[in-house]
Amino acid sequence: MAQPSILFVCMGNICRSPTAEGVFRARARQAGLDLQIDSAGTHAYHVGSAPDARSMRHAQQRGYDLSAQRARQVSAADFEAFDHILAMDHDNLAILTSRCPAAHQHKLGLFMHYAARSHSDIVPDPYYGGARGFDTVLDYVEDAADGLIAVLRNCDNGNL
């Protein structure tokens, strides 16, 4: 049986989605879940770049290492390869929806759908803001990651 796979998506794949990948990877490992986890951006602005230094610094302060990640753009193959493709906001979900073949539309969703606390239905983009924005992203992502792990533990074969 193949391991369930999850792709986290934001615009440039340097702030929110790599944070989601790193946090979720660590939390899934702690929960004993064997998953394929990756992240990508809807745009090719930063392909090949490491995550934003502020994202890495704030994540490191909470024990998450994002340094090995490199930005990439969502590819057509991702829609078939991943079981779950979770966007950080409505704009990126709309882009994914427009690019995704009809047969794979059911895989798309918002990551914050899994949050237990009512922060927002999106992970806000911290790129143009101050340091607090990166901590907010981590707060939201940790909450949604825990919720997604709880759902995955209770689902057959990783189906959400």
Residues tagged active-site: 10, 16, 125
d(CA 71, CA 48): 5
Token duo for residue 144:
């949604």
14: three-class secondary structure by DSSP: coil
Residue with tokens 């047969």: 103
Q: In what order do the strands lie in the sheet with 36-41?
A: 36-41, 5-10, 84-87, 108-110
3-class SS of residue 33: coil
Contact status, residue 91 vs residue 43, Cβ threshold 8 Å: no
**Cβ–Cβ contacts within 10 Å for residue 38, how many?**
20
Phi and psi at residue 16, in whole multiples of 5°?
-70, -50
